[in-house]
Each structure stands twice: as C-alpha cells, then as structure tokens.
Structure 1
C-alpha cells in the first residue's frame, strides 16, 4: 500500500479517537442542501444581532462549538462570567470565564438542575471537548440543559498555552530532553506571568468558579459529569458544595488520593499487556505480527542504542522531512493511542513495521500526534494544577525503570514544578470523597491511565454509588454502546444501583489490524 493510502487509513483511525461517535450519530441529521444553508446564512449576514437569551443573570447569544476533527459542530448559546483571579483581591485582575449552554429540548419534561460537563487533561477546554461526546447527551437533553465552563487557564478563559513544551518532549535523549523542557518551562512561565498569576489556576480555584456560575444561572443544584481529570474537579466540588450537588457521573475516575503522574508508567504497562494479548488470541494476528509486546521491547532497545535517521512526510504540510526516531516518540505514541482501543488496534501493526526497519509511519504519526496535543492542551494550566496539587507526592517507582515510560515523566514533572509558581492546596484535598451523593462511576476495561481499580477505590466511600466496567473499552466511555441511555436514566432517577445495565454486555472488543487494509474478519 502506498504511503498516501496508509496515512488516509490512519487518519480515519485517528478520527475514531477524537470525533467518530459524533460523526456517526449526527451524520444523518446533516443538511441535505449545503448551498441552501450557505444562502440562508448569507441572507442573515446583515440582520441585527439576536437578542440575548438569559439564563439567570448570564446573557447568552447563539454560537457554534466547532469540532476539532472536522465532524459537525454543535449549536449552542455562548456567554461569559467575570470572576476575580485572586479571590482575596476582588478589585484586582479578573478572568472572563467562557461558558456555553446547550438548552434542553423545549418539548421535554424540563428539569431545573442542569448538567455541568467537566473536561479532562488537566488542560482541556470543556467547550472544545464537548462536540466529540455530544451524542452521549442526546437523551439527557430531553430533560436538562448542559453547561460547559472553560476552566480558568483553558479554552477562552485566559488560556495558559505552552506549545513549546510539546515539541521539547521530542528534542533528544533523556538528559538533553530534560534540559530543553526546563528551559521551555521557564520561558513559558515568564511569558504567562505577564498576564496571569499562575498560583490561581488550580482545581480549587476552578471549583469556586463553577459554583459562581451555578449561582449566576440560578440553579440550586447541578449534576456533574467529570471526564478523566474532570472527575477530580467533580469530587472536589461535591465535597466543597454538597448542598448544590444532585448527582455525580465520574467517567474514567481519578481518585482524590492519587498524585497525578505516579502511576502513569505502571498503568500503561498493564493496559498494553491487555491490549496486546488480544492479538495473541486471534490466530490471524498472531501469525502475521507475532508478539507485539516482545517486538516493542526490541524496538525500544534498538532506538536507545542507535536512533535511525528517518525520512517521513509531514502530515500537515505534505513536505518530506528527516529526523531521528527516538524512544520518546514511540512511548508517546503508544501511550496516547492506548487511550482508545479502536486507535490502539493499529499499534501491533505499527510496531511490527518498526521491527522490520520501516520507521516512516511511526515517525509521521508521532509528529502528527504531538502537534494535535499542543493545540488542544493548555500545558501552563496543567502545570499550575499538578505543581500545586501533586508535585510534593511525586516519586520514582524502581519497578518501572525498564518500562515504556520509565521514570522520566515523573522526573520531568518534578524538575518543571521546581520552576513553576504554586498555589495553595486544601488540607483535605487528597482525602477520598465520603458522601451520600448518588454517583455513577464508569471505567474502560483497557484504560491505560485510569484503570477500573481506581473507580473501585472511590466507590467504597460513596454508599449511593455504583461502579461499571465497560468491556473492551479504553478512556472516556460515556458514549460507548448503550451508555448514553443509562446516563440519561441515572440523571432522571438519581439511582445508580437501580439501573438495568444488561445492555452493556453487547459491547465487543475491537480486533487488531493485521494489514493496512483494515480490520480482519
């Protein structure tokens, strides 16, 4: 297969990670006559601005939340709320929180408690993340509106971008990489400090902002759906404002008592073992590709000893480039692809290609992924969160020295946090949430970053909680199978234990690629 055809195929696979479900569920609703739509828009160009639509004290105007991967956008109402950056200085610098509201269906049985979706990262924007998971809210919107608040430091809420950091992660051997990253962190810190006090972009600050938005829209109680890092925000909100928390949905659960970064290497190893084992159980894959785990180990050793100079085609420009393929490229690619089994299904084939000395696909995809992450993640906000909340608990795991990620990620975070301003962390921040709040906890069986064991830990102190493990799924599972309907039922009843979840038994494993022509039969 030609290089161009391979990139088209892999681009389709990447679409699955960032927007496939939205495209699948909404394609049938797309306008049939694009010319008519364009004409209608042109006819409105000179129309006076629409009158704002009020939700409590916040004025909203029509807007479209664009998809990050080309699928249809989501029609919404957009507004903002001004909050003090430093709560002790209400007359000081202020942040305009970017807010989107997707109103409930007007024909439904409308309820007064909206759903707040909390994005992951830390560093992702709620308004930018929502279109990819929008189909999961289809049934929930029959009764409740959805509110999206770009957490301070993300999206359009005074974003703290450090794009140079993403490039620094692929700059050379480990020692060189740490030096380059530290220099990039210091430059980013100095640049951002001209317009932000980096101590006040923590989870605790975000929780206070969320309650300010809740109060401003006039909602007495709200339902929180947290995804990944957003589950930390949701748990912290429920502890700080239990009287305003109606329900919790925690998708890909991060327990309060973990320190972000410590378990990344071990969790990835466990998930890759499970995912690669699927190849061994399918004769066509085992015969064609062998043992993906063993080949990955051999490939990493080869790159460590003698990184090859690879000629590859830049996916964004189409230009031919040359660069040395480093172990960091493979580690980063495997880690991020493992989030979605649909995407990771191509990993055994890519690793096999590398074991055969064909490196161009690995290099091109690694560079493409790095570019996407730098655009979607506010690394400055991420450092404000991790350095304030987790840095003092980060430590090497000697058992992971020879793993794919090793301890370089932890060492890098510690070094970066030494140079980053830190906010205050409440004394009980890392204590488990103990609450009677109705809670539904969701985990993917193959999740490489927040495994099902995390949810099992959290649900122990939530007597009205229930933990579900979705077979064959990875990270962020709210849109898998019948989960959207179960999500809507839980919002309606606030009873996780009463849900009939038999429909989840229909979830299937994604078969691994054995050729670049796609999945086998």
Structure 2
C-alpha cells in the first residue's frame, strides 16, 4: 500500500440458490467438471512477475449487479477452482481465498496462493473468486493516469487534478457499471451465492489484508455458513483504510531502525535512524528535485528521469512490506546521501513495474468512498511524519466526485463471534501492524493471534505457516497449534554493501 495505492483485500454476495449438505462428486465428462451447479473447464493461471503458473478449473457465475433490480445488468464473476491433490477430499467445506487491495483479483495471484496453501490443498479444495470490479469480473479499470497515478506523479497533482481525472474514470466506467454496487457488502453477497451454487453448506475463509475485512463481514453476515476464518494482515472493521498510513509507516520505520541498532555491523554502518535520514532526503528533494541517470531494471538501458520527494516516500513505503526489500533501504538511502541517486531511482522504477496494472482503481474507490472516506478525520500529528499530512487528503479526494454505495448499519462494529479463527501479523508490517490483530482478537473467543518476528505485510507463506494453516483448517482449533516452529523466523539483516550483509 503506498500513497494512493492501497494494499489491504476482498470478496462475496447473495444470488439465491439452494445449498445442499452433500455436494455431488465432480463430473469429469467432456462437457466439463462440475462443482455443485457450476461447470468448470480446465485452465492455466499465470501470475505477473513470478514466471510460474497453476493448472486449475475455471468458470463464470452470473449475479445481478443490483439485487434490487434482478432483471437488470448482470456481472459474470470469474471463478477458479484449485482441486485438492487428494482425489477423495470432501467437497462440502472448501477454502475461499480473499485477495487484497481493495482492487486485487484472487485469480491473478493463483501462483502465490497455491504456494502458500500447498499443505491446505492436500485435503481441501480452494476456490478463487475475482471480486466484482476486479480481474475478469467486470473490472473497474480506466486507461491512463485515472487508474492510479504513479508515485512519481504525485508531486504535480493536487485535489483538483485528482478529482478531474476521477471524473473521467467515472464517465468511462459508468458505461458498463453502476459504481454504487461494487462494495464489500455486495461482494460478500456474491461470495455466498457462489457458496450456494457449488453446494457447500459451509466454507473456510482465508483473507489477506483488505480480504480480512471481507472475511469478517462475511462471518458476521453468514455465521451459519462460516466454518473457520484465517486473517493475514488484519484490518479491523473500524479501521479507516488510508487514514492511518502515515503513522503506521513511521512505526514500521522505528522498528526497522531498532533492529539495525541491535546488530553491530548495521549499527556501525548506519548510525543515523531511517526516519531521520528519510526526512532529510525528502527535504532536499522537495526543495530541488534532481535529474538522475539510472539503469532501467526491465532492460538494463541507461535512462534519465526526475527523482522527487514523492518517489522516495513511495519507494520506501513499498519496500517496507517485505523484509527482503526492507533490507535494501539503508544502503540505497546511504547512496543517495552521497549524491548517488541511480540505485534508488532504479528500484523505484522496478517497484512501479511490479505493481502496475495489478489494482482495479475504480473498484478500490467504490469501496473506499462508500466505507471509509466519510469516517476519516485529519490527525495533526501526521504533519510530522515521513509521509506528511497530504497523503490521506489526496487519498480520499476522488470521493468528492465518485458515486457512493451504501454502508449497512453496524458495518464498522467489531466482529464478535465464536467462529474458529487464526490471525497472523508481521512484527514490522507498515499498514496492518500486530496491534490491529490484537484488537480483532478481542471479539473472537475461539481465536488465536500469531506474530512473526521481523516480518512485514502478509506472512501466510512464511516458514512453517503453511503447515500451521493446514492444521488449523483441519482441526479448527487454533489454540491447540504447536507454533514453536515460528521461533526460527526472523527478519533479513540490512545490506551493508551491494554484496549483501555482514556474515
């Protein structure tokens, strides 16, 4: 989640189909493979940036865009089914994976999902639903800057400019979508419609980042159909998505600096903490952006571009998500302090390329403008943060022109439930810190919260977590898990040179 590009996640909905407790066995006839009433066809799912792919079964499932007008426009939800590797696995209570954002599509992350849930898939079927407005489920994307200006562009944009490009996006998307009906509430109704269609009496929900909001909303609305929930990078229902980015980022920087100070080699190489160095660099670039010669990370060609304060802030925030990238920050900042900006610019371009096109900006705005924007209250303390107090204001400014859906009463109340729940957080997560998980855990009497030392945002694939998640899904007893294996997980030491860190 950097600047305007939120990285929290989602799913779900309500088409009335009868659920049955005993789902029919898959039909492998030439007409397709059936899961309940849905017919799937073989497909291959690839993921940008991974070079990998996953063999799956794919289908579409139609739901009304506006459930108050069921004869009106329909949305063809894009579905993928990753069958259990054990052909005798039961079909009645599969796992539904809920992607983040808001704005990410579950099927576009199938490779990473398959890796993280490799143990789960031995005994459980996994279902991916592209949330309405994402992926191939009537995606709400605009061509050009209105689909999300890059961090490098933020210095030249104000509220008026963001609202102008958002109006263009509204005009374009309104030709094939009513933007009021692409919220979390409509998404969980879609999820329940899919659940009923495949004949599953109950489902297990695994939500990542914004997907944890979706999982909580589904469990609250459909407790009888929720067998268990797994929340990775927990976003409380009361959280104003985008309203706390600046403070949480400063908290993460403090933890990273503390880890460096505890390591002799890092402490000697970088005696000044990250926050102080970032603020000094931002101040210099705000006063005078610099033209930088750098190597294009996609092809190695030498290029030249402007490095601004927003570029630096966006890069460091993005790099704070994962220990492997966080470890590079002190070194590239040190290079910049010496007037060598090339490595920092190359990394900024690399990160822009990695996230480009992954977020459906229109769907993101439909969620945020309906569920978060009106609850945002400026915090004067943001002015003293690395990100500053402009971030949230710019983040929510498109909502002045965006069509707004409804947020039901009680939407922001904490989930209070006996549903079996496994929560997990990264110690240094810059957007959903462990304190968020602890807050949500208070309402979950059958829940447990695991915090992974030295880790960032989204930890379900780290170390022995895949094994623990599988054990939990089978037993639904989070408190009985032996989580000692997590003690072996730690952060990645900071690079002290381009050869790596000290041995």
Query: Scaled by the length of structure 1, what TM-score is found?
Result: 0.88
Write out per-residue CA displacement over residues 41-88 of structure 1, whole angstroms, 9 at most, x where no aligned residue: xxxxxxxx9531000111111111102213321111000101111111
Q: Deviation of residue 168 (structure 1)?
A: 5.2
1:197-208 paired onto structure 2 within 5 Å: 197-208=178-189
Structure 2 Cα separation of the partners of residues 172 and 219 of structure 1: 46
User: Who is 1:182 aligned against?
Assistant: 163
Q: Does 1:246 align with 2:227?
A: yes
Structure 2 contact 430–456 (Cα < 8 Å) conserved: yes
Tell me which moved more, 247-256 or 286-295: 286-295
User: Who is 2:153 aligned against?
Assistant: 171
Structure 2 Cα separation of the partners of residues 342 and 311 of structure 1: 25
Q: Does 1:427 align with 2:401?
A: no
Write out per-residue CA displacement over residues 207-227 of structure 1, whole angstroms, 9 at most, x where no aligned residue: 000000000100000000000
Q: Deviation of residue 172 (structure 1)?
A: 5.4
Return closer, same or farther for 1:509/1:171 CA change in 2, 3 Å cut-off.
closer
| Unpaired segments ≥5 residues, structure 1 | 1-16, 18-48
Structure 1 contact 168–180 (Cα < 8 Å) conserved: no
* Residue-pair matches, total: 473
Structure 1 Cα separation of the partners of residues 430 and 279 of structure 2: 18
Out of 358, 379, 404, the residue aligned to residue 340 of structure 2 is 358
Q: Deviation of residue 277 (structure 1)?
A: 2.3
Write out per-residue CA displacement over residues 340-371 of structure 1, whole angstroms, 9 at most, x where no aligned residue: 01111101111111111111222232233223
User: Who is 2:101 aligned against?
Assistant: 121
Out of 123, 138, 141, the residue aligned to residue 143 of structure 1 is 123
Q: Does 1:280 align with 2:261?
A: yes
User: Who is 2:13 aligned against?
Assistant: none
User: Who is 1:29 aligned against?
Assistant: none
| Unpaired segments ≥5 residues, structure 2 | 1-6, 8-28
Return closer, same or farther for 1:319/1:186 CA change in 2, 3 Å cut-off.
farther
Q: Deviation of residue 129 (structure 1)?
A: 1.6
1:211-250 paired onto structure 2 within 5 Å: 211-250=192-231
Q: Secondary structure at the match of 1:81?
A: strand
Tell me which moved more, 411-420 or 319-328: 319-328
Structure 1 contact 170–177 (Cα < 8 Å) conserved: no
User: Who is 2:70 aligned against?
Assistant: 90
User: Who is 1:56 aligned against?
Assistant: 36
Structure 1 contact 169–177 (Cα < 8 Å) conserved: no
Structure 1 contact 275–341 (Cα < 8 Å) conserved: no
Tell me which moved more, 377-386 or 132-141: 132-141
Q: Secondary structure at the match of 2:96?
A: strand
User: Who is 1:444 aligned against?
Assistant: 426
User: Who is 1:255 aligned against?
Assistant: 236
Write out per-residue CA displacement over residues 278-305 of structure 1, whole angstroms, 9 at most, x where no aligned residue: 2222222232333233222211111111
Structure 1 contact 108–142 (Cα < 8 Å) conserved: no
Write out per-residue CA displacement over residues 172-200 of structure 1, whole angstroms, 9 at most, x where no aligned residue: 536x4444322221211111111111111
Q: Deviation of residue 266 (structure 1)?
A: 0.7
Return closer, same or farther for 1:177/1:194 CA change in 2, 3 Å cut-off.
same
Q: Does 1:380 align with 2:362?
A: yes
Out of 306, 327, 334, the residue aligned to residue 288 of structure 2 is 306
User: Who is 2:310 aligned against?
Assistant: 328
Tell me which moved more, 358-367 or 185-194: 358-367
Structure 1 Cα separation of the partners of residues 44 and 214 of structure 2: 26
Structure 2 Cα separation of the partners of residues 53 and 186 of structure 1: 43
Tell me which moved more, 302-311 or 314-323: 314-323
Structure 1 contact 391–413 (Cα < 8 Å) conserved: no
Q: Deviation of residue 404 (structure 1)?
A: 1.6
Query: Scaled by the length of structure 2, what TM-score is found?
Result: 0.91
Structure 2 Cα separation of the partners of residues 91 and 111 of structure 1: 31
User: Who is 1:343 aligned against?
Assistant: 325
Structure 2 Cα separation of the partners of residues 129 and 514 of structure 1: 33
Return closer, same or farther for 1:437/1:52 CA change in 2, 3 Å cut-off.
same
Structure 1 contact 111–143 (Cα < 8 Å) conserved: no
Out of 119, 138, 157, the residue aligned to residue 137 of structure 2 is 157
User: Who is 2:245 aligned against?
Assistant: 264
User: Who is 2:3 aligned against?
Assistant: none
Q: Secondary structure at the match of 1:339?
A: coil
User: Who is 1:490 aligned against?
Assistant: 472
User: Who is 1:20 aligned against?
Assistant: none
Structure 1 contact 260–386 (Cα < 8 Å) conserved: yes
User: Who is 1:408 aligned against?
Assistant: 390
- In angstroms, what is the RMSD of aligned CA positions? 1.8
Structure ranking higher on relative contact order (CA contacts 8 Å, 6+ apart)? 2
User: Who is 1:193 aligned against?
Assistant: 174
Q: Secondary structure at the match of 2:435?
A: helix
Write out per-residue CA displacement over residues 432-491 of structure 1, whole angstroms, 9 at most, x where no aligned residue: 011110111111111100000001111101111111111111111111111111101111
